[in-house]
Structure 1
Amino acid sequence: MFDIDNLSLRLNTFRNKLKDLKIDGALITKRENYMYLSGFSGSSANLLITDKKAYLLTDFRYVEQAAKQAPLFEIVQHKSNILDTIYEIVNSEGIKKLGFEDQSVTYCQYKEYSEKLKNTELFSIGSVVDDLRAIKDEQEIEIINKAVEIADKAFEQVLKIIKPGITELDVAAELEYKMKKLGASGASFETIVASGIRSSMPHGIASEKKLELGDTITMDFGAMYNHYCSDMTRTVFLGQPKVEMIEIYKIVLNAQLTSEKGAIKGRTGKEVDKIARDIIYRNGYEGKFGHGLGHGLGLEIHESPRLSVGGDKVLENNMAVTIEPGIYVEGLGGVRIEDTIIIRDDNPRVLTKSAKEIIIL
């Protein structure tokens, strides 16, 4: 899945983080993180990484796959209780200080680790791997770009089938079917199709509601390609919309385009969020944009950084983020427009190519 040179660089970078933390090794349990560091994409694994050794612990089902996908790791088929195998390796490697991912380990699991590894101190490594994942290499960017291209093409094709009488579920099913036909392994998340007054719900999952003339239709969806996510939103109109909906669309589009251009290296997520929020609020819709402007994406649909009122992380080159302002008026409808972009100094690379001018079907 990943180039071996990229995997080697990631492993070395992570080992440097272990040195900074002054610990002997770390246990990686979060799937996206063990996939990122090892290249193994199966659903069951733990990594145990020290300064010199890298072990991938998995069960019988995945031993062959792991050997092919994770060439930098020693593959270990763990015992029925994986903790027994972890205990053996920790002892054989003389690990006295072991890092663990506190954000993905349950309290119950932590208690089990503590009881089993009595002679080893456990240390939280926080979001170390997640933070590494926030900055994509060129291989990752091209995979994400392919996922974006698939979603773009699916959107273009699904516009042809939208008509009065079909349901939101029909539209969602067509989007997901077309993404799969175009090469996606599946959808990045549960597809959102919200029409008419339901479009005022930012996460209005597709329902049995039938489309009607005059409806605003918001579609938020993404393709999963080679384990990476894309994310886009377009709002279209079925027949002539109300005047206020056209005005709202123009405001959201201005906020989206302006904040997209402003998503540059060195700004914090909240500074970029403010660009869009100020435009929306100045136009009389304060309180109608209640979510963040965007988020990072990659192996997960929502990852670091956050572009929101609380987004303190500074944007860096090669971060993949979404820009998705919206206005939502209960009883009337809502508009959201979203692209996936790559941070590039002062000129972001916009991956999403679907048209953003008003579309009336």
Structure 2
Amino acid sequence: MVDKQILSNRLDTFRKELKNLGQDGALITKRENYMYLSGFSGTSANLVITDKKAYLLTDFRYVEQSAKQAPMFEVIQHKTDIKDTILEILNAEGIKKLGFEDESLTYAEYKSFKGKFQGTELEGIGSVIEGLRSIKDSYEIETITKAVEIADGAFSYVLGIIKPGITELDVAAELEYQMKKLGASGASFETIVASGLRSSMPHGVASEKKLEIGDTITMDFGALYNHYCSDITRTVFLGQPDKKMIDIYNIVLEAQLTSERGAVSGKTGREVDKIARDIIYDKGFEGKFGHGLGHGLGLEIHENPRLSPSGDKVLKNNMAVTVEPGIYVEGLGGVRIEDTIIIRDNNPLVLTQSKKDMIII
């Protein structure tokens, strides 16, 4: 459970943002955001937060759980229509300007709220909470570190079962099983295992294809631990690889290591992406690295900031991001190498410990 002081700090920071926006209060409906602010991890809740009060509205199933997990909030079992309970709070608190998550609330939900909350002006707060979430506190870094350790452990295990004749689905199942045995609640996204010619597909999810001698095998997976995600990619070879694939591997490794060292506070995501992209393009593979270098992660597998050609946000200390360059050549194969790191002033904290030297099984 998240420490009460950490939850208090998050709530205080959000209230300052609300004040800066000129809002009387905010309605929080996105699960990852209400989890972050309240500590409640159930699947049904809305928060109403004012300068002085904090309410968590949930149904009968979660009243006891939310009371334990969300100590900074007054827990209310809402009426059949949750909007009726929200309206009572708005009237009691005299809220005339109510912030809402316009980047996640559907248009239908917005119309429903607007029609119900007569006399209260609804104003979007954009990605304010996501911005707060992008900089991890001590609890989050500790939790993500554990999620990374679990993924590392699963990778170490699965290296011992890879052999000709097993399928990509077999490998994916073993990765996910081992992550659960090591403490994960599940995988943080659909596991990617792409072998042979399929490895040229960056998001080639596991198939019934059987592994063969000579295959390049790319595995991209992550553990979900206490609701936080990890993300790792490793590319290994079953038998001696083609010389072209060895060259590609070494280029990707150089790009990964160099851009990882360059992922420091004060640079933009675009600048870090360019480090890896320049190395790959200079070696003759322009157009073969068609995705961004990395992304933030936490309660969601893809969060801000983005390390990509369009990544204009400045990196700050304690952001958790991935660094995952790749080269993909249709008809030959592909290589991607990925770590999860924590941004620091000079040297980033690399959480992923699985070896990156070429592995030939």
What is the TM-score normalised by the length of structure 1? Answer: 1.00
RMSD of equivalent CA atoms = 0.4
**Counterparts of 1:106 and 1:127, CA distance in 2:** 15
Distance in 1, Cα, partners of 2:307 & 2:148: 20
Aligned to 1:337: 337
Inter-partner Cα distance in structure 1 for 2:257 and 2:52: 48
User: What are the Cα deviations for residues 279-320 of structure 1, in whole angstroms up to 9, with x where unaligned?
Assistant: 000000000000000000001000010000000000000000
**Letter of the aligned partner of 2:202 in structure 1?**
P
Residues 181-220 of structure 1: pairs in structure 2 closer than 5 A: 181-220=181-220
Look up the SS of the partner of 1:62 in the other structure: helix
Which amino acid is the alignment partner of residue 329 of structure 1?
V
Give the count of matched residue pairs.
361
Taking every aligned residue pair, what percent have the same amino acid on both sides? 78
Aligned to 2:319: 319
Report the AA paired with residue 106 of structure 1.
T
Q: Give 1:241 deviation, angstroms.
A: 1.0
Q: How far off is 1:129 after superposition?
A: 0.4
* Aligned counterpart, 2:286: 286
Report the secondary structure of 2:284's partner residue. Answer: coil
What is aligned with 2:43? 43
Letter in 2 for 1:32: E
Mark the runs of 5 or more structure 2 residues left unpaired by the alignment. Answer: none
3-state SS in 1 of match to 2:218: strand
Residue 159 of structure 1 aligns with an amino acid whose one-letter code is L
1:328 to 2:328 alignment: yes
Tell me how far 1:103 sits from its aligned partner. 1.1
Which residue in 2 is equivalent to 1:308? Answer: 308
Residue 138 of structure 1, CA deviation: 1.2
Q: Which amino acid aligns with 1:14?
A: F
Other-structure match for 1:130: 130
**Which amino acid in the other structure matches residue 320 of structure 2?**
A
Where do 4+ consecutive residues of structure 1 move more than 6 Å? none
Aligned to 2:8: 8
In 1, distance between residues paired with 2:118 and 2:331? 59
Deviation of the 1:139 alpha carbon: 1.4
Q: Residue 33 of structure 1 corresponds to which residue in structure 2?
A: 33
Secondary structure at the aligned position of 1:160 is classed as coil
Cα distance in 2, alignment partners of residues 135 and 359 from structure 1? 34
2:238 equivalent in structure 1:
238
Distance (Å, rounded) in 2 between the aligned partners of 1:344 and 1:19:
30
**Which amino acid is the alignment partner of residue 86 of structure 2?**
I
1:118, distance to aligned residue in structure 2 (A): 1.5
Following TM superposition, by how much is the alpha carbon of 1:6 offset from its aligned partner in structure 2, in angstroms?
0.4
1:114 is matched with 114
Task: List alignment gaps of at least 5 residues for structure 1.
Answer: none
C-alpha separation in 2, matches of 1:235 and 1:18: 45
